[in-house]
Amino acid sequence: MEQQVETLEKVRKVPPKGTPEYREYNRDQKRKSRENKKREREAKEVITAWECFDQFLASPQYGKVRDYATEQHQKIAEELGFDQRTWSNHPAFYGVDMALFVSFGYEKDFVRRVVDPAGVMVSGTYFGDAVAAVIVDDSHKYRLVERSSTYGGIYRPLLMLLNKKFGHNSDSHALAIRQELAGTYQLESVT
């Protein structure tokens, strides 16, 4: 009975044949089908992290991520009061770059399961479960969230996403996420 209701609901959503809406609907269905087939094909392919990195750097997706990151870095540098050259040499630049790549990669589904080492690579460059400690630490050390609204708008949603995916882990990255979201994260003091 449930299956019949589900099928009936799908039929109701299909626009009448011959209309522009129907053609658009068909194009959308084909695109979804191709994306699903691509995911299935990629899931069967086992590649190493280095192969993933090399493939991603040669793909059009890398250009999209890099363009996005460059645009966001310009905004963040301006909000922090740095010129581009100074910002690109700042110690927080790497952590912010991580956050930008991982956030955009998850948003655009530039995610790939790899082996050697095993894990999930995001934007072909970072392991999604192994970036949080750096991102959280740098955010506190350089007060990035308070000083940059652009970064702040990316930071919290990214942490919530990483917590959803990896918060159950028992490593320093998952701990940093949980503590930050709970408001209990403490920067370790250097003695």
Q: Do both 20 and 102 map to the same domain?
A: no
Q: Determine what percent of the chain is predicted with pLDDT higher than 90.
A: 71
Q: Do both 56 and 17 map to the same domain?
A: no
pLDDT in tens, 31-45: 888 887 777 776 667
Q: Do both 168 and 115 map to the same domain?
A: yes
Residue 9 has pLDDT above 70, yes or no: no
CB contact at 8 A, 116 and 48: yes
pLDDT for 2: 58
Q: Is residue 191 part of a domain?
A: no
Number of domains the chain is built from? 2
Q: Is residue 139 part of a domain?
A: yes
- Give this prediction's pTM: 0.76
Q: Is residue 92 part of a domain?
A: yes
Q: Given CA atoms 41, 119, 150, 155 in this order, what sign does their dihedral have?
A: positive
pLDDT in tens, 80-102: 999 999 999 999 999 999 999 99
pLDDT in tens, 42-74: 666 789 999 999 999 999 999 999 999 999 999
Q: Do both 59 and 1 map to the same domain?
A: no
Q: Do both 50 and 36 map to the same domain?
A: no
pLDDT for 191: 45
Rounded to 10 deg, the angle between the 149-166 and 132-141 helix axes is 150
Q: Is residue 119 part of a domain?
A: yes
Our CA dihedral for 169, 175, 180, 186, rounded to 10 degrees, sits at -170
The CA distance from 83 to 112, in Å, is: 34
Q: Is residue 187 part of a domain?
A: no
Task: Please give the residue range of the domain that contains residue 3.
Answer: 1-45
Q: Which of 73, 147, 80 is nearest to 104 (CA)?
A: 73
Highest mean pLDDT out of 2-6, 14-18, 116-120, 122-126: 122-126
Q: Do both 7 and 57 map to the same domain?
A: no
Q: Is residue 148 part of a domain?
A: yes
The CA distance from 190 to 177, in Å, is: 21
Sheet hosting strand 119-122, strand order edge to edge: 111-114, 119-122, 126-127
H helix intervals, the chain: 2-13, 20-44, 49-57, 60-80, 84-88, 93-107, 132-141, 144-147, 149-166, 172-182
The CA distance from 116 to 96, in Å, is: 26
Q: Which residues pair with 147 in a beta bridge?
A: none
Which residue has 């966001």 as its token pair?
72
Q: Do both 106 and 73 map to the same domain?
A: yes
pLDDT for 190: 52
CB contact at 8 A, 101 and 125: yes
Q: Do both 60 and 123 map to the same domain?
A: yes
